[in-house]
Amino acid sequence: MNTAIQTELRWLDGSAAAEALNPLIEARGGMLLNGSDNPILTRARVAFDEDGDVQGYFVLQMIPFLGPMLVVHGSDPVLFRQLASDMLEFMRDSMARGWLIIAENPRIADICRDLGFRQETMPVFWGK
C-alpha cells in the first residue's frame, strides 16, 4: 500500500501567498507577509496535499536591510543614537513591515536591544 502523500507544488504571489501562509507563519512567531500583489516583493513555492492543506513552503520576501552604520571614533556618542533614531523614524514613516540589521559592533547591538528589536537565535546565512 502506498502511504505517500500526494503533493502539488504551486507558486503563490502577494495576497495569495499571505492568505495561505500568514496563519502558519504567525503561529511560528515569524514576520507576516505583506500581501502586496507585486511578485518581486513576495513570492512563495508552496506544497499542498490532496486536501488543499499546506505541507511546506519556501518564501522570498524583500525586507529592508539597514547597514552599514559608522560613526568615527571620537565623535559625539549622541550622533550614533541620532542616526539610528532618524533611520527608525524613516522606516516607520515608510510603513516598512520590518527590517534586518546586522549588529557589526556592540554599540549597534545595544541600540537594537534598547529599541526592543527581536534578536534572532537561529543561524543567519548569506548566499550569492
**Per-residue confidence (pLDDT) for residue 1, from 0 to 100:** 47
d(C-alpha 70, C-alpha 128), whole Å? 24
* Residue 125: inside a domain: no
Walking along the chain (128 residues) 10 residues at a time, the average pLDDT comes out as 75 92 92 76 92 94 86 80 89 84 85 87 82
DSSP 8-state symbol, 99: -
Whole-prediction pTM value? 0.70
d(C-alpha 28, C-alpha 114), whole Å? 24
Tell whether 99 and 86 lie within a shared domain: yes
Range of the domain at 88: 65-114
* Residue 128: inside a domain: no
* Residue 108: inside a domain: yes
Tell whether 78 and 104 lie within a shared domain: yes
Tell whether 78 and 50 lie within a shared domain: no
Task: Indicate the number of domains in the chain.
Answer: 2
* Residue 53: inside a domain: yes
CB 79 within 8 A of CB 73: no
